[in-house]
Amino acid sequence: MKKLGVKERIIEAASRLFYFNGYNQTGINQIIAEADVAKASMYQHFRSKEDIAVAYLIGRHAMWMGQLNECVSVKKTSKGKVIGCFDYLIKWLNEVDFRGCGWQNIITDLPDDHEKIKNQAILHKNDVRHWIHNLLKEEEYTDAQAEELGDEVLILIEGAIILSQIQKNDWPIKVAKKACIKILK
């Protein structure tokens, strides 16, 4: 197996620490120690902890959307893919012991002046929103209906994720999936 470079080790270590410990609870020295890199090497690749967090969120977005698309690819219809999103949530949240959404977690743990991180969180959530809208536009809905229903589905998804994190259980996702099926009839 190829050994990761300095930048990749920093992102990998920071990703794990930010996701499981929180942004504010993770310090630069902890990232450096976990990545097993020198401080000077870290600063050659990243100017700040915020820049590391942006790299983490960009990587997380690609991973999350890739896994979502892979999970729903077995569904035959676009509507089935949207509903199948909840199956992905159950699988993913069980795997991470209901740690929750990396974007929800980081945004609630963020100082006000971290615009680059906020922008990445907004980008991810908007991408998920557009993913849902585009799938529903492939169905019998008008564009306006697809967008309205898509926004309702997104709220179900986001609420199910946070409630599952609080409850440490997948029942909120199962209930949200049933509600999604009802609104997409």
Whole-prediction pTM value? 0.92
Written as one letter, the residue type at 182 is: K
pLDDT at 72: 98
**For 5-9, 58-62, 107-111, which range has the lowest pLDDT when averaged over its residues?**
107-111
Q: How many residues does the chain have?
A: 185
For residue 166, what are the contacts with CB-CB under 8 A and spacing of at least 6? none
Identify whether the C-beta of residue 82 lies closer than 8 Å to the C-beta of residue 69. Answer: no
- Predicted confidence (pLDDT) at residue 13 exceeds the cutoff of 60: yes
pLDDT at 109: 78
Which pLDDT tens digit goes with each residue over 92-112?
A: 999 999 999 999 999 987 888
- Predicted confidence (pLDDT) at residue 38 exceeds the cutoff of 60: yes
Angle at 169 between CA 166 and CA 175, to 5 degrees: 100
Q: What is the distance of C-alpha 67 from the center of its chain?
A: 11
- Predicted confidence (pLDDT) at residue 1 exceeds the cutoff of 70: no
Q: Which domains does the chain have, with CATH numbers?
A: 49-183 (1.10.357.10)
